[in-house]
Chains A and B, each alone.
Chain A
Amino acid sequence: MPAEEAPHSEHSASVTLLGPQRQPRVDAVLESLQLRGARAAVINAGWREREPEDELLMSLTSGNAVNLRLWHRMQEVWEADPEFAAADQQRRMLLEEMQDLYVIALDHVVDALRTMAERVPRSIQVQRVALGDAQQIMREIDERHLARVNEIHADFWERWPPHERRAVQLLRQLISKDLADAEVVLIPGGHVGVLVGALHLFNIAPQLQVPIVAWGAGAMALTDRVVLFHDRAAHGPSVSEIFTQGLGLVRNTVALPGARERLDLGNPARMGVLARRLAPARCLLLDARVRVDILPGGELPEDAPVLADDGAVTTLGQVR
């Protein structure tokens, strides 16, 4: 949740979301947007301590770029303002515990769904209703969790208004200067929690008035809700979890970067539960070579690859 209320709807420039950039196409995308050689601002706070290792990224912008260094600037805030840092740490601890407990609750609902689905029904209709009820419980847990997360953030920002913290003030001014002459903003992937935290702390959303190209965690951060997912984790598939509110520049969308690698797309039952659980938002599949140009107003275009309610991979146009 942002530190200050952001006028999201005022972002009128283009937003382009991409799949993972292991074979970078950012330069071609910039060219297609007629932004070749344009002054770029880079937000790669999600790379954390590797934030300065941005040579490749810079080269894709023809070198005309500035790194906003949000992660390092965030560390500077914590160092300069230990009281604020301690409060932030306390907030993170609360959020971590909430997330853990929320996942425990979700795990039980997922177990129940599995057991109910695998049971030989005496009445298919009764089974369908029971499954629907359990999914509704899941959606309620999601909504309640996100509301609680927002409460924690709101309470923190109210008690610790960032604009009243000297270190934040100074750094926000520097960031604004860096952003002032940017013609495009690049937001790559990385740690989505750290990235969203940095974007909120420095109140970046209202300043994003130029085209944005984002991928990975960067794409997730631009949506209304950030959902964590990993069906191929080392210790087996984990339940997808609502994590936090994003910047809301892309509407009614849950961005799922690297979907083919991270999701069990061959399991329509599992994918269907995910799609229906997050509806009316659409699950946007951002795989390698995917490019989605968001419509003015923040909606997805018709050709955006999404999950249908039955778990099939399709395009938005097909499911409308």
Chain B
Amino acid sequence: MSVSLPGQPVRGTPRGKLAINQFREREHLDEAAVDAFLHERQVPIIEGAKCTFLYRGQADEVHLLHRIVNQPQRVPLRRIEGTDLWYVIVELPYGSRVEYQLELSNNGHTVRGNDPLNPQIAHSPVGSSSVCQAFGYQTPEWTQHDPDARPGELHDLTLPSKALRRETHNRIYLPARFRTSSAYPLLIVHDGDDYLNYSAMKTVLDNVIHDLDMAETIVVFSNPGDRMREYPNYAPHARHLVAELIPHLEEHYPVMRRPEGRALMGASFGAVASMSVAYRNPTMFGSLLLQSGSFVFTDIGDDHGGGPAFDPVVKFMNRYRARPRKVADRLFVSCGVYEPLIVPNRSMVPVWESTGSTVRYVEARDGHSWENWRDRLRDGLSWIYPGPQKFVYE
């Protein structure tokens, strides 16, 4: 079962000349006019589907850099004569969210960075980017702190792992009103600290549990050592989760001890790790939450175009696709339509369904980013562990 992308409403689409074109048509353009034009204006300028990106300053060339698949990813800006204002108009469909940077060239020297006119910034483990929130995009309110939502608690858990030959560092989320006498479903999150730091997952959990959208759940935020080794189908990682971490949790926390009470989640390589652990332990997990999984495969030959890091992924995925088997009863799968991984993710849905899994597949007009994964969390979390909302009536 899949959810289609939102259509652009007929109403609310502005008509007439774009602001930048009106500006260009003025007779006297100087720096004062630019000041007036930019005064209290949000950049990029969003007018329906048209997004006007701007840069103000001296440069030989300015380029807009983004990672929307199948689109030119380095788009030149044009300078408006008589000013130091540069612009380019890009059309973005309703509800899009796009991360970007600007590249400036001066005297043969090139630098790239965030848009100085745009305060919207997204952070990730590899740095930050500017964000263009196109017409129709709204930051979901459940990603923001809600003073009415009673907060859960995060505790550190350091666990030595024989399987991984290192100490593992995890954080355990205990929901508000946690009681040792209850039995909670368990969710293990790959790249746990990144989900906490860049996807506001603690806030999201507090809110979706408070709103009764998600069941009260014990969530373990696990963290990789050597991520590129441990996540793409690595037996010691699976052994660590199943033979070390889960037994430890079952001994010390009131977690359910049955498959429907165990779930794994992750994004990108973390999604591959989730799937491969479930594949190696086919009756252990009831649900998987897979975001923008790096499920790269080849139908013929070995040339997958992803570089050596993807070799073990492609080997695993090709083997899986040759003989698919059920990895969990319920899968929530999401992917951004602007990322190259959209094709493998779409392709995997019927494969998982053919094994008898129930798949909820959701696309978004977004890229391979932590805010995309944040914005899909309520859908995913409420799908794998639905809250008691259907039982509660005011």
Contact = CB atoms under 8 A, between A and B. Distances in A.
A102 interface: no
Contact of B391 (A20, A21, A193, A258): A193
A258 B208 contact: no
Given A49-B177, A233-B382, A238 B390 contact: yes
Given A49-B177, A234-B208, A234-B379, A258 B392 contact: no
Contacts of B35: none
B379 A235 contact: yes
Given A234-B378, A234-B382, A235-B379, A21 B390 contact: no
A229 interface: yes
Contacts of A2: none
A14 B304 CA distance: 73
A217 interface: yes
Contacts of B177: 49
B379 A220 contact: no
Interface stretch (A124-132, A152-160, A184-192, A266-274): A184-192
Interface in A203-254: 215-217, 219-220, 228-230, 233-236, 238, 241, 243
Contacts of B390: 228-230, 233, 238, 241
Contacts of B394: 20-22, 189, 215-216, 257-258
B213 A189 contact: no
A258 B389 CA distance: 13
A215 B393 CA distance: 9
B382 A190 contact: no
A193 B392 CA distance: 8
A258 B394 CA distance: 7
A111 B233 CA distance: 36
B383 to A, nearest CB: 5
B388 interface: yes
B260 to A, nearest CB: 8
B382 A257 contact: no
Contacts of A257: 393-394
A235 B393 contact: no
Interface string B372-394: 00000011001100101111111
B392 to A, nearest CB: 5
Interface residues of A, number: 28
Contact of B392 (A215, A217, A234): A217
A197 to B, nearest CB: 11
Interface string B172-210: 000001000000000000000000000000000000100
Nearest to B211: A234
A231 B181 CA distance: 33
Counting chain A CB atoms within 10 Å of each CB, the highest count among B208, B383, B389, B391 belongs to: B391
B111 interface: no
A104 to B, nearest CB: 8
Contacts of A238: 390
B393 A234 contact: no
Contacts of B386: 233, 235
A261 B33 CA distance: 50
A192 B379 contact: no
Given A21-B394, A236-B3, A257-B394, A230 B389 contact: yes
Counting chain A CB atoms within 10 Å of each CB, the highest count among B211, B360, B392, B393 belongs to: B393
Nearest to B179: A49
Interface in A148-207: 189-194
Nearest to B379: A235
B299 to A, nearest CB: 31
A314 B3 CA distance: 33
Interface in B122-155: none
A216 B391 CA distance: 11
A286 to B, nearest CB: 9
Nearest to A196: B391
Counting chain A CB atoms within 10 Å of each CB, the highest count among B382, B383, B394 belongs to: B394
Contact of B360 (A192, A235, A243): A235
B379 A189 contact: no
Contacts of B211: 234
Interface string B45-85: 00000000000000000000000000000000000000000
Contacts of A243: 391
Contacts of B383: 235
A288 to B, nearest CB: 9
A84 to B, nearest CB: 15
B392 A235 contact: no
Given A234-B208, A235-B382, A235-B383, A192 B389 contact: no
Contacts of B208: 234
Contacts of A230: 389-390
A80 to B, nearest CB: 13
Nearest to B208: A234
Contacts of A46: 392
B380 to A, nearest CB: 9
A241 B391 CA distance: 11
Nearest to A238: B390
Contact of A192 (B3, B378, B393): B393
Contacts of A194: 391
Given A233-B382, A234-B378, A235-B379, A191 B360 contact: no
Given A191-B388, A235-B382, A217 B3 contact: no
A289 B387 CA distance: 27
Interface in A6-27: 20-22
Nearest to A256: B393
Nearest to B360: A235
A46 B211 CA distance: 16
18 contacts: A49-B177, A190-B392, A190-B393, A192-B392, A192-B393, A216-B393, A216-B394, A219-B393, A228-B391, A229-B390, A233-B386, A234-B211, A234-B213, A234-B379, A234-B389, A235-B382, A235-B383, A241-B390
Interface of B: 3, 177, 208, 211, 213, 360, 378-379, 382-383, 386, 388-394
6 A-B pairs with the lowest CB-CB distances in the bound complex, closest first: A20-B394, A234-B382, A234-B213, A216-B393, A257-B393, A217-B393
Interface of A: 20-22, 46, 49, 189-194, 215-217, 219-220, 228-230, 233-236, 238, 241, 243, 257-258
Given A46-B392, A190-B393, A234-B211, 20 more contacts: A20-B394, A21-B394, A189-B393, A191-B388, A191-B391, A191-B392, A192-B391, A192-B392, A194-B391, A217-B391, A217-B392, A219-B393, A220-B393, A230-B390, A233-B382, A233-B386, A235-B386, A243-B391, A257-B393, A258-B394
